[in-house]
Amino acid sequence: MQPLTLLSRKTYRDLLVIHELYHQQLQMWSERSHQLEDRIVSIHQPHIRPIVRGKAKARVEFGAKIAVSMTNGYAFLDRLSWDNFNESTTLIGVIEKYRERMGTYPAVVQVDQIYRTRENRSFCKQHGIWLSGPALGRKPKNGPSSEDKQDVKQDTGERNAIEGKFGEGKRKYGLGCIRARLAKTSESVITLQLLVMNLERRLRVLFCLIFAKLSRRRLALKFG
């Protein structure tokens, strides 16, 4: 029998992963279960975990899960994890990071339904932050007023910008297909892609400002 020291570093690493994978499969078979903590689904990328999303096209996704906030069209990476996590637990930390960047708490936070927990509502109320969405408790018998419906519709339309940002990242910048194999390398690629998205956003804003300034100058020359 040849000693393990003769194996290359990569082969030895794969051997350790396969050994752990075997024990995980044996445990699930013994317990007649299909779920396991830190389950390995890839020998070459053992850091990847299956994340149940419940989508029609992809019930289970594989890859990093990120929490992104957006301010004035710019995306900020607030959390990146290879394990699944509850998004609602990240809101308070995201608001605190916003305060560190901007020097003050935001006046308005637009979120999805999952973020509207009692803890998050209490925190926002304590710091004078308006959290979007209907109040907790029983709904009024007569239903929401027309003004409330209009506010909800407007808030939903504005909040959808973050969904569009994810779509832009996957469609134009490759966020939906990270080809890096190591965990740290993949995290660097994701961070750089978000940085490039923000840089291009900044360039578009500058272009619009320059174009508007030149347009006003032309009008002044023509009608002055």
Distance, in Å, from the CA atom of 62 to the CA atom of 58, rounded to the nearest integer, reads 10
Total Cβ atoms within 10 A of residue 169: 20
Task: Give the per-residue pLDDT at 185.
Answer: 92
pLDDT digit string (tens) for 194-219? 999 899 989 988 888 888 877 777 66
Contacts of 19 (CB under 8 A, 6+ apart): none
pLDDT digit string (tens) for 155-196? 666 667 777 788 888 888 888 888 888 889 999 999 999 999
Q: Distances from the Cα of 178 to the Cαs of 20, 24, 59, 119, in angstroms? A: 25, 26, 19, 35
**Cross-strand partners of 178:** none
Task: Give the per-residue pLDDT at 152.
Answer: 55
Confirm if 200 and 209 have CB atoms less than 8 A apart.
no
- What is the pTM for the complete model shown? 0.74
- The rounded percent of the chain whose pLDDT value lies above 90 is 15
Confidence of residue 142 (pLDDT cuts 50, 70, 90): low
Task: Give the per-residue pLDDT at 102.
Answer: 86
Q: Give 130-138 contacts, CB < 8 A, sequence gap 24+.
A: 132/108, 132/159
3-class secondary-structure state, position 131: strand
3-class secondary-structure state, position 209: helix
Helix ranges restricted to H, 9-90 = 9-31
Dihedral sign, Cα of residue 209, residue 174, residue 60, residue 76: negative
